Amino acid sequence: MILLRSLLFNTLMILSVLPYAVAVLLAAPFGGRATYRLVAGWVDLNVWFLRRICSLDYEVRGRENIPAEASVAMLKHSSAYETLVELQIFPRQTWVLKRELLWVPFFGWALATLQPIAIDRRAGGSAVQQVIDQGKRRLADGIWVMVFPEGTRMAPGETRRYGLSGTLLAQAAGRKLVPVAHDAGYYWPRRGLRKRPGTVRFVIGEPVDPAGRDPREVNEEIQAWVEATIAELRAEAER
């Protein structure tokens, strides 16, 4: 039954891309706010599908830690689920992502209207500078910058050293870093078809001010908090 429900959700999600993408492209001349509202509507629809079809929902702890000023969020990346739900949790945002996503017909074209910071992950230092330069402009416009510092989706219980671009951006822009931990990978695995029913827990940590600090030290602090928090969430779920 879980497999059938998951297949139904996947089908509906894929079918929903085309009409929303066309609507986003038609709304593009009216500016980023118009296209963002449409994309947020697509996210709302698919999160509703997940809730109704797959019995997969979420809860958020620590909303009070979200700064009023646009900041840099550093999220654990272990599923596709957090890439949807982040739009419901945080204010207007854009994302650091691999440029290949923009080449996907319709989906990528619509995504491009939202001013993502699309990088070539093989570009090294120039990609980091791109995140800093473009990210400062987004933050100045009141748009949050969402960063997956591990650079790719990680299997539950796994991690890798965080990239420095998010921390360097926050330092250059004089903004805070907001760490986000969650256990979505246990319900919607990174390469899995099945969506397990349950409640994904998102925990928003206290903002970290990186000013004047070693970026690697900041990353290590945030990574340690994220991984420890996920371990606590799993222990809680298994009790």
Q: Where are the domains of the chain?
A: 56-238
Residue with tokens 């360097």: 168
DSSP symbols for 93-141: EEEEEEGGGGGSTTHHHHHHTT--EEE-TTSTHHHHHHHHHHHHHHHHT
Task: Specify the CATH architecture of the domain 56-238.
Answer: 3-Layer(aba) Sandwich (3.40)
What integer pLDDT is reported at residue 186 of this predicted model?
95
Closest CA to 79 of 181, 224, 207, 228: 181
Distance CA 18, CA 213 (A): 45
Burial 64-90 (b: 16+ CB within 10 A, else e): eebeeebbbbbbbbbbbbbbbbbbebb
pTM: 0.94
Name the one residue in this structure whose structure tokens are 């995140």: 131
DSSP 3-state of 62: coil
In tens digits, the chain (239 residues) has pLDDT values of: 899 999 999 999 999 999 999 999 999 999 999 999 999 999 999 999 999 999 999 999 999 999 999 999 999 999 999 999 999 999 999 999 999 999 999 999 999 999 999 988 776 778 899 999 999 999 999 999 999 999 889 998 899 999 999 999 999 999 999 999 999 999 999 888 899 999 999 999 999 999 999 999 999 999 999 999 999 999 988 87
